[in-house]
Amino acid sequence: MDQPLYIAGPCSAESLDQLIAAAHELNGIPFKYFRAGVWKPRTRPGSFEGHGIKALPWLNEIQQKFGYKIAIEVASALHVEQALKAGIDAFWIGARSVTNPFTVQEIADSLRGVNIPLFIKNPVNPDLKLWIGAVERIEHASKAQIHAIHRGFSVYEKLRYRNDPNWQIALDFKIERPDLPLICDPSHMGGNRDVLLELSQIAMDLHFDGLHLEVHHHPQSALTDAEQQLTGKELNQLLSNLRLRNRVDLSNQEILDLRIKIDSLDSQVLQILAERMKIADQIGQIKAEHNTTIYQAKRWKELKEKNVRIAETLGLSEEMVSQLLKLIHQEAIRIQASYL
Ligand code: PEP
Ligand code: MN
């Protein structure tokens, strides 16, 4: 079983003493990079924005005293230049920066010819192309060893997690770029230490290659992201509760037989959908002949309610069935609109 790649450390580099305390917290934990934000992108001005260049020698001290490899966030060519000069070992590009192709391009150009581990977070908005685009900008310009970090997507109203995991986008990223390691960042996704184990477990079950978790010696007094940081002891606990699964693709006879059944059912589902759309097409012609509207709210409401009830008796989730019906309905409307 491959050991996941762990990145751990405080949200921000607050002082040399705080970094040393966080470094001690991580003693004995098998992490690869010690993270600490030096330039902190904040959504609104007025809160702690990092110590900037002043914090770089503190991180050098952590490298020397503890032998840890250090990762920091870079958001401009100047950050890259200063961090490279200071001998920082790895960089990440934050979610806000990844939304801006000009910023990503500037960072890419400043990394020309540089071979350094670079972690690219997903953009704050759920846009797979923007995320992949950032990867491409970096790989066209530099020799950086690219990793992706999934940290979820901004939402207007916080539900259980601060950011919506929308796991499907991360899985689609994996399909497009199976060559790149994909790390999950439960800390920024969850925004709260109580949900970190469940998010970490989902990530491991989905075959992510590692985890990024924030650690502070005294989380309550952290200058940034206080609610989500763990002590070293809590991180240890989380990692020992985590179930790591075998990462090989099973191909024993039992699975192969079941997959044959799945493939046959999938093709039946498609045939039934095609038949359904043909009928929607016939109805579309009749509606056009009678000059009636395509969308009929009462019929749609009844159809949805009836099928959600049936789905429940079949043990299917309401969310999945509602989304599926919505997609089918949209497609039927598109077909019928061709008669207008
Ligand atoms: C961070 O990792 O410090 C950070 C600001 O995260 P994100 O870019 O994911 O919001
Ligand atoms: Mn943080």
The DSSP element (H or E) to which 332 belongs, if any, is helix 318-337
Which domain CATH number covers 331? 1.20.59.10
Examine the domain organization and report whether 225 and 82 are in the same domain: yes
Is residue 236 domain-shared with residue 154, that is, in the same domain?
Answer: yes
End-of-domain residue from the set 193, 215, 241: 241
Which residue type does 62 have? Answer: I
Whether 326 and 184 map to the same domain: the answer is no
Residue pLDDT, tens place only, 282-295: 999 999 999 988 88
Q: Which two tokens stand for residue 279?
A: 């009928």
195: which 2 tokens?
Answer: 């949900």
Q: What mean pLDDT value characterizes the chain?
A: 95
Q: Which residue has the higher pLDDT, 294 or 101?
A: 101
Q: Is the pLDDT of residue 166 over 90?
A: yes
1 — pLDDT class (breaks 50, 70, 90): low
pLDDT tens track for 104-131: 999 999 999 999 999 999 999 999 999 9
4 lines ligand 1 (CB under 6 A): no
Q: Are residues 121 and 215 in the same domain?
A: yes
Atom of ligand 1 at shortest distance to CA of 151?
9
The enclosing H or E element of 106 equals helix 101-110
The pTM for the full model equals 0.81
* 267 shares a domain with 140: no
Compute the distance from residue 216 Cα to the ligand 2 centre, in Å.
11
> Are both 181 and 67 inside the same structural domain?
yes
246 within some domain: no
- Closest ligand 1 atom, residue 97 Cα: 8
Indicate whether 77 and 184 sit together in one domain: yes
Based on the structure, what is the number of domains in the chain?
A: 2
pLDDT at 257: 86
Structural domain for 228, as ranges: 5-241
Do 156 and 43 lie in a common domain?
A: yes
In a domain, 221, yes or no: yes
Dump pLDDT digits (tens) for 213-223.
999 999 999 99
- For ligand 2, the distance from its centroid to the CA atom of residue 316, given in whole angstroms, is 37
Q: What is the pLDDT of residue 274?
A: 95
Can you tell me the distance from the alpha carbon of 226 to that of 216, in angstroms, rounded to the nearest whole number? 9
